[in-house]
Amino acid sequence: MESELKIRLETVNFFYGKQQALKDISFEVYKNKVTAVIGPSGCGKSTLIRLFNRMNELIPNTRLEGKIRLDRQNIYEPQVDVVELRRRVGMVFQKPNPFPKSIFENVSYGLAVNGIKDRDYLAEKVERSLKDAALWKEVSGRLYKSALALSGGQQQRLCIARALAVEPEVILFDEPCSALDPTATLKIEELIQRLKEKYTIIIVTHNMQQAARISDQTAFLMLGELIEYDLTNKIFTSPSKKITEDYITGRFG
């Protein structure tokens, strides 16, 4: 069965002031798949992933050319509600960033901000999100204790639960394991594999083995240009370009 298209980038250029960070990027992201974005430091990976929920607009003097379509709609059209877009396209950052609140308040935060006060509904959503983030068993007895007391790996899964609570369609992961130890990293990778059954996932990773393990498609960026985009298995076993092979085999980067 052919995969359903979720996001399409059409000749995307992005600028910080006069400096061009991304050049003529075009590719497609498929529903319920994991798409990895790899490349050396400073190649534009984080800039790219932040375009999908318009996070780069928070930086002054930036400019985008081209189109990014989510379910066929260009998300950069003036009438698009950015708050609603960020609900549909959730984000998990490099370092876990729980709020200095209880575990319950962290997970229910997005719902509470949207005016949902029904305690039973909130409790149900918190439990479901923590279960989906593979954290419920570890924290169910201390929901009203501070989230800051959790380990780094638990905090990152809490941030994933917080993103899941508002029922996004797409989840962006910006190097979600870079601050974690190997055991916590494995748990996040296993979680991402499960989450793709319900969500479309885009992950930036500097870890080549991680991209090979968990993604379906891989985009390789260099100096703001998309060098190659294909099925992960093909990228890692028989890439079309010599430069891709050199990067993957560790000859540079």
Beta bridge mates, 159:
none
Q: What is the pLDDT of residues 128-146, one digit of tens each?
A: 999 999 999 999 999 999 9
The amino acid at 107: V
Report the amino acid identity of residue 135.
L
Q: Are 202 and 230 in contact (CB under 8 A)?
A: no
Exposure letters 39-60 (e unless 16+ CB within 10 A, then b): beeebbbbbbbbbbbbbbeeee
CB 247 within 8 A of CB 40: yes
Structure-token pair, residue 8: 């399409």
Report which of 189, 175, 109, 181 is spatially closest to residue 152, judged by C-alpha positions: 181
pTM, entire model? 0.94
Q: Report the distance separating Cα 3 and Cα 33, nearest Å.
A: 9
* Sheet arrangement for strand 200-204: 73-74, 62-70, 5-16, 19-30, 225-231, 217-222, 34-38, 200-204, 170-174, 89-92
Question: What's the mean pLDDT in 170-193?
Answer: 93
Res 253 pLDDT > 70: no
What b/e sequence results for 5-35 when a residue is b if at least 16 CB atoms lie within 10 Å of its CB, and e otherwise? ebbbbeebebeeeeebbbeebebebbeebbb
pLDDT in tens, 36-65: 999 999 999 999 999 999 999 999 999 999
**Whole-number Cα distances in Å, 64 to 36, 71, 219, 220, 248:** 22, 19, 20, 20, 29
Give pLDDT, residue 2.
62
Residue 1, pLDDT > 80, answer: no
Give the angle 185-170-129 at the CA atoms, nearest 5°.
65
User: 151-176: b or e for each residue (b if 16 or more CB lie within 10 Å)?
Assistant: eebbbbbbbbbbbbbbbbbbbbbbbb
Domains of the chain, by residue range, sit at 5-248
Q: Which CATH superfamily is domain 5-248 in?
A: P-loop containing nucleotide triphosphate hydrolases (3.40.50.300)
Please state, in angstroms and rounded to a whole number, the distance separating the CA atoms of residues 238 and 63: 36
Give me Rg for the CA atoms of the chain.
Answer: 18
Which pLDDT tens digit goes with each residue over 197-252? 999 999 999 999 999 999 999 999 999 999 999 999 999 999 999 999 999 988 87
Burial group, residue 38, by CB count within 10 angstroms (0-12, 13-18, 19+): buried
